[in-house]
Amino acid sequence: MVRIGILISGRGSNMIALAEAVRDERIPNATVAVVISDQPDAAGLERARNLGLQTLVIQRRGRSRHEHDREVIAALKERDVQLIRLAGYMRLLSPQFIQTFPNAILNIHPSLLPCFPGLDAQHQAIDHGVKWSGCTVHFVDETLDGGPIIAQRIVPVLDGDTEDSLAARILVEEHRLYAEAVALVVSGKYEVVGRRVINTSE
Ligand code: GRF
């Protein structure tokens, strides 16, 4: 059983989608060990509790990144977490955090990386005038949204799109893609060769 820890800061829709995928065994051999938020008022916390998940708030306020990360690491280790999933976690992880869980931290980003890393990816896509965008699940390394790509999915950018309408179209795909990518990583049927994540289950 792979024990997953999920870090959130906000609404937590990707966290819920993953928890449901685990519950429905679309991600076999996995369990959600804890949901940690750095924001005490994150809407996702209540949604997680409603699903019967253990939640924890570890506030960033008043702590340095180093101290905060140290507390989060300790909470994850106490619960034997092996795989960490960032789901709308609006904090950069310290190198110490990343080195503690090598190749075991996943993130989802609402663009086709390496296009439009960082904040407001949907806004960046509309501003640039691209005709297609999408989402990317990747391993987290010490670069911003730059670790090895596990899976991607595309969506069209329509002429009438606003940032919100594009974000909503991408979010539907995020929920599916993240569960599929986590299922692959939990299965262990992949290899990381340089920057490439090769699916060895096929
Ligand atoms: C998602 O669009 C995700 O790609 C980005 O932040 C948003 C989080 O949404 N990293 P939610 O909290 O999972 O609903």
Which domain CATH number covers 48?
Answer: 3.40.50.170
Three-state DSSP at 6 gives: strand
pLDDT of residue 202: 75
Q: Are residues 14 and 33 in the same domain?
A: yes
Which residue in 66, 68, 109, 128 is the catalytic one? 109
Q: Are residues 117 and 188 in the same domain?
A: yes
Q: Are residues 3 and 97 in the same domain?
A: yes
Segment 127-138, tens digit of pLDDT: 999 999 999 999
CA 87–ligand 1 middle distance (angstroms)? 6
Output the CA–CA distances (angstroms, integers) from residue 109 to 14, 80, 117, 144, in the order listed: 11, 26, 8, 11
pLDDT of residue 61: 87
Q: Are residues 134 and 95 in the same domain?
A: no
Q: Are residues 129 and 202 in the same domain?
A: yes
175 counts as catalytic: no
Which range marks the domain in which residue 3 is found?
1-101
The residue nearest atom 2 of ligand 1, judged by CA position, is 110
Claim: this prediction has a pTM higher than 0.95: yes
pLDDT band at 55 (very low <50, low <70, confident <90, very high): very high
| Cα dihedral value 62, 67, 73, 74, nearest 10 | -90
Segment 160-171, tens digit of pLDDT: 999 999 999 999
Exposure string for 33-58, b = 16+ CB within 10 A, e = fewer: bbbbbbbeebebbebbeebebebbeb
Number of domains observed in the structure of the chain? 2
The residue nearest atom 8 of ligand 1, judged by CA position, is 88
- Token readout for 140 is 């987290």
pLDDT band at 155 (very low <50, low <70, confident <90, very high): very high
